[in-house]
A = this chain, B = another copy of it.
Amino acid sequence: MPSRAPALNLKTINPAVLDVHYAVRGELALKADKYTQILADPKEKNSLPFDHVVTANIGNPQQRGLNQVPLTYWRQVISLLENPPLFEEHLDVIKQIYPEDVIERAKSLHQEIGSVGAYTHSKGVLAIRKRVAKFIEERDGFPADPESIYLTAGASAGVSSTLSIALQEGDGCMIPIPQYPLYTATLAYLNAKPIPYYLSEANDWSMDHETLLKAVEEAKKKNIPVKALVIINPGNPTGACLSHEAMEAVVRLCYEEGIVLMADEVYQTNIYDPSHRPFVSFKKVLKGMPKEIADTVELISFHSISKGVSGECGRRGGYFECVNISDEVMEQVYKMASVTLCPPVSGQVGVDLMVSPPKQGEPSYEKWKQETSLIHENLKERSYLMAEHFNKMPGVSCNPAEGAMYLFPKIQMPQKAIDEAKKRGKEADVMYALDLLDATGICAVAGSGFGQEPGTYHLRVTALCPETAEFVGRFEKFHREFMEKYK
């Protein structure tokens, strides 16, 4: 019998998959991986003009080489929960190394959860959801319902599942430009239409009612029903925090146009100067508006343990809260969650530790305070320093970040570079990023992966790399040479 052609090829697989793009882990990241392997090989490591790869492309604080340590309290509690005999049979031994509040927390969680190896409720452990509700209430001053809260495998899983429920094929979903490309990737997969609204670089990456309305009108002209609006606050990649006024404009638009508001707030504790612009949640803004708006606009808010100062990306923990969504739709949300059984229990515990940290007076508090403050200060310092240096480089400008963990400098791309990139079949900022990697080992993502005003070029760089001065020095050298090459 002769062989036959494969059943699966690019024409026979789900065509929506072909339209999905995710630059954060695309060509550049794969090349950086390859370089990391080369550098690990004693025979080949001298073949590159640098001795280590600097991963400034992914917001992954606990990655090797970035020297952000996990929070002690978290890891102590989780280690006990993983192996209850430690606080059952071996309590006397454990008391030698663990503070009392850690042991109590683990015992209490074990009482509530049982084994971390068992499936939980599909929404996540109720006791944890209750504490998430309490966290939300204390943050905002408005009630939260544990039954409208879903724990998820990171915020990404929640974004994916809620968009896949809310959107029909052909529905429009407003997205900020620039945005975190999970959104464009998900919309492509769902055959939904992204409706871009441009954030204004000249105005702290904000937007106003007019910008939003313009985007809605563009969609209407094309007969695209606008179903949802995604907003990321604090912003990724921009690092910008919205004013109360801007947030009200968004909510008002959603009210007027019958749009579901999806608020990605995973960076809510990465605010560098809370005295200047503290984090305000969209829930709080919504509930503070007139009653007919407050009780009508459908809102889904997302949070995660991957960012903030915990940086527990690999643990896959997060949640979403639904507000003003009908019971019949919430039943569908529950049903879809039940098919995937339950979110990772370790991630659920991470959410609990995030929303209920050690309290003042408890034995773990001082160390927790010290660790979280240090991480926060380091991030802030690096971010300010990098922005300062970017702004000094000729042909580079950079809005300082108010939060999140990224910088999004703009490169004045020389025409010759644009032309050369075209010859290579790439966007100019992609070519810049690839050349940057080849020359320095620094891996940053081109702005085109996030979206940008046409004719502008950016780079997204994380503020996570230690040895900022050395990093900046290498970057500056490359940039000078690049500008010289293409002047």
A residues engaging B (CB < 8 A)? 1-10, 12-15, 17-18, 20-22, 24-26, 29, 33, 58, 60-64, 69-70, 72, 75-76, 78-80, 82-86, 90, 93, 96-97, 114-122, 153-154, 156-157, 160, 164-168, 182, 185-186, 189-190, 227-228, 255, 258-260, 290, 292-293, 295-296, 298, 310-316, 324-326, 328-329, 332, 335-336, 338-347
Of the candidates B20, B119, B339, the one whose C-beta lies within 8 Å of that of A20 is B339
> In whole angstroms, how far apart are the Cα atoms of A189 and B337 in the complex?
13
Of the candidates B62, B118, B156, the one whose C-beta lies within 8 Å of that of A60 is B118
Query: Is the beta-carbon distance between A60 and B119 smaller than 8 angstroms?
Result: yes
Secondary structure at the A interface, as helix, strand, loop or mixed, is loop
Instruction: Tell me whether A83 and B90 are in contact in the complex, defined as CB-CB below 8 angstroms, given that A14-B165, A15-B168 are known contacts.
Output: no
Given contacts A6-B324, A7-B227, A79-B82, 18 further A-B contacts (CB under 8 A): A1-B255, A1-B290, A3-B292, A9-B329, A14-B164, A14-B165, A14-B168, A14-B190, A17-B336, A25-B122, A60-B118, A62-B115, A64-B118, A82-B82, A90-B97, A119-B313, A154-B341, A156-B339
Instruction: Tell me whether A167 and B83 are in contact in the complex, defined as CB-CB below 8 angstroms, given that A20-B339, A115-B70, A313-B118 are known contacts.
Output: no
The complex is assembled from copies of this chain, and their number is 2
Which chain B residues lie closer than 8 Å to A344 at the CB level? 153, 314-316, 344, 346-347
Query: Is the beta-carbon distance between A6 and B325 smaller than 8 angstroms?
Result: yes
> In whole angstroms, how far apart are the Cα atoms of A305 and B58 in the complex?
29
> In whole angstroms, how far apart are the Cα atoms of A302 and B223 in the complex?
43
Which chain B residues lie closer than 8 Å to A121 at the CB level? 33
Query: Is the beta-carbon distance between A166 and B119 smaller than 8 angstroms?
Result: no
Of the candidates B10, B60, B154, the one whose C-beta lies within 8 Å of that of A329 is B10
Query: Is the beta-carbon distance between B70 and A76 smaller than 8 angstroms?
Result: no
Identify the closest chain B residue to A343 (Cβ).
Answer: B316
Which chain B residues lie closer than 8 Å to A4 at the CB level? 255, 258, 296
Instruction: Tell me whether A83 and B93 are in contact in the complex, defined as CB-CB below 8 angstroms, given that A15-B168, A153-B344 are known contacts.
Output: no
Instruction: Tell me whether A260 and B8 are in contact in the complex, defined as CB-CB below 8 angstroms, given that A14-B165, A82-B79, A117-B312 are known contacts.
Output: yes
CB distance from A334 to the nearest CB of B (A): 9
> In whole angstroms, how far apart are the Cα atoms of A293 and B340 in the complex?
34
Query: Is the beta-carbon distance between A96 and B93 smaller than 8 angstroms?
Result: yes
Query: Is the beta-carbon distance between A115 and B260 smaller than 8 angstroms?
Result: no
> In whole angstroms, how far apart are the Cα atoms of A78 and B79 in the complex?
7
Can you identify 29 A-B contacts, CB atoms within 8 angstroms?
A: A6-B296, A6-B329, A7-B227, A7-B260, A9-B328, A10-B328, A10-B332, A13-B165, A17-B165, A17-B336, A22-B338, A25-B122, A62-B115, A63-B115, A69-B115, A70-B117, A72-B85, A76-B83, A79-B82, A90-B97, A93-B97, A117-B313, A119-B313, A154-B341, A182-B339, A314-B342, A316-B343, A316-B345, A344-B346
> In whole angstroms, how far apart are the Cα atoms of A22 and B86 in the complex?
38
Which chain B residues lie closer than 8 Å to A168 at the CB level? 12-15
Query: Is the beta-carbon distance between A7 and B117 smaller than 8 angstroms?
Result: no
> In whole angstroms, how far apart are the Cα atoms of A58 and B84 in the complex?
24
